[in-house]
Copies of this chain bind each other. A is one copy, B any other.
C-alpha cells in the first residue's frame, strides 16, 4: 500500500471555473492526483491519495482517491478537476468529521489535515517531504504515509505538529519540486525495491 497526502493551503473549497484551474491552484492538485494514481498503462491499484483543500469558501475539505476502487478517471487535469468539483458540490453541506462517497473510489469529508495526520500517525510511519530532510535513497522501508505541501509549503505550526508526531523528514534532491514531481520520485524509489 502506498499513501500520499497533499495539503493545498489555497485549494478552492467552493465551486471553481473548470476553464481556469490555476485560480486556487487546482491544476497543481490535479497533477498530484494524476502522478499518484497513474502509470502509462494502468492505474496504480495499490495507491491512495488524500487531498486537503484549505482555501475559500468552505474549508477544510478532504477528498480521498482510492486506487483500488476508483473508476472513470483519466490522467488529464480536465477529468480530475471535474471529479474534484463533483466532490466539492456533493460535500457542500457536510458537518465536521462527516464523510460521504462521491463515486466509486472517491470520498469527500469535512476534516482537517491536522486531525487526519494525528489519526494516521497511530498506526503509520509519517514521511514529510522537504528539501531539508534525509535522502530518500538512504531509506530501507517505505511503509507509511508521504506528506506533501503545495507551492506554499506547510505552515510552521503544521511542521511542528509533524515533528511532534515523529514524522521522518525526507528529501528527494536539491531542486524545489512540485508535489506531483515528488510523488513520481517516491513511486520510482518504491518501484525499484
Contacts and interface: CB of A to CB of B under 8 A. Distances in A.
Given A40-B176, A40-B178, A188 B185 contact: yes
Contact of A19 (B28, B74, B75, B78): B78
Contacts of A77: 27, 76-78
Contact of A39 (B22, B41, B178): B178
Contact of A78 (B21, B35, B79, B173): B21
B74 A177 contact: no
Contacts of A19: 78
A192 B19 CA distance: 37
Given A41-B176, A192-B173, A27 B184 contact: no
Name A's interface SS.
loop
22 contacts: A21-B76, A22-B74, A22-B76, A22-B78, A27-B78, A31-B31, A31-B34, A39-B181, A40-B151, A40-B175, A40-B176, A40-B177, A40-B181, A41-B176, A75-B178, A172-B188, A173-B188, A174-B191, A175-B188, A175-B191, A181-B188, A184-B184
The 3 closest A-B pairs by CB, nearest first: A27-B76, A40-B176, A184-B184
